[in-house]
Structure formats: structure tokens, C-alpha cells
């Protein structure tokens, strides 16, 4: 990155432009997908992935772990967790399914550093 000087007005303008771009970008996706049917398999996978998110938050997320270890208000700390989740031992998505492809291609551990 170059030596760019930033000031409050530029930063605020950037944040505003991001906020103003959200609905025009998001609403067409919602309108296009709102009638899309989903199966029990897809719902099962969604709940399983939510469970993995909960695991990550409780074990690895520094803010969550710090809050719990320092006797913070538990309800406030856990408020971001999904209302429904699922855990399954040795879960494997159905071979050849979109869930299997997502797992094999994108949901693999990576060394990002």
C-alpha cells in the first residue's frame, strides 16, 4: 500500500458509500431467491453449519472466550449465536450434492498467513 493520508471526511464518505450500496446490491438477490424452495437436506446442512459456527465462537473467538472467562454477561456474549443449530458426530454431506462440493472446495482448513 502506498502512503495514503486519510482524514475523517474521507473515511466517513467511504462508510456512507458502503451503506448506500448495500440495498441496491442485496435486494435483487433477495427478490430473485425469495421463492426458491429448499429441501430437508439443505435445512439439515444449514443447521449443521450453524453448529460449527457456534463451536468456533465458543472455542476460538477471542472476544467470546474473553467475555466468558471474565464473567461477562452471558446473555450479551452469546446473543450473536444462531437460535437453532445442530451437531452431528462425523457428519458427511451426501456424495455429489452441492453441500459436498461446498465442503470439499471451500470449507477446508487453510493457512491464511
Q: Say what the pLDDT of residue 109 is.
A: 87
Q: What is the pLDDT of residues 17-57, one digit of tens each?
A: 999 999 999 999 999 999 999 999 999 999 999 999 999 99
- Compute, in degrees rounded to 10, the torsion defined by CA atoms 48, 50, 51, 53: 130
In three-state secondary structure terms, 58 is helix
Amino acid at each position: 500500500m502506498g502512503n495514503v493520508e486519510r482524514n475523517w471526511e474521507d473515511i466517513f464518505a467511504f462508510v456512507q458509500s458502503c451503506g448506500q450500496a448495500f440495498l441496491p446490491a442485496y435486494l435483487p438477490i433477495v427478490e430473485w431467491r425469495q421463492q426458491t424452495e429448499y429441501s430437508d437436506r439443505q435445512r439439515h446442512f444449514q443447521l449443521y453449519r450453524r453448529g460449527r459456527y457456534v463451536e468456533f465462537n465458543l472455542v476460538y473467538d477471542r472476544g467470546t472466550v474473553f467475555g466468558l472467562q471474565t464473567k461477562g454477561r452471558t446473555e450479551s456474549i452469546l446473543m450473536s449465536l444462531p437460535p437453532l443449530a445442530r451437531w452431528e458426530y462425523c457428519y458427511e454431506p451426501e456424495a455429489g450434492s452441492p453441500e459436498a462440493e461446498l465442503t470439499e472446495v471451500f470449507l477446508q482448513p487453510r493457512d491464511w498467513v
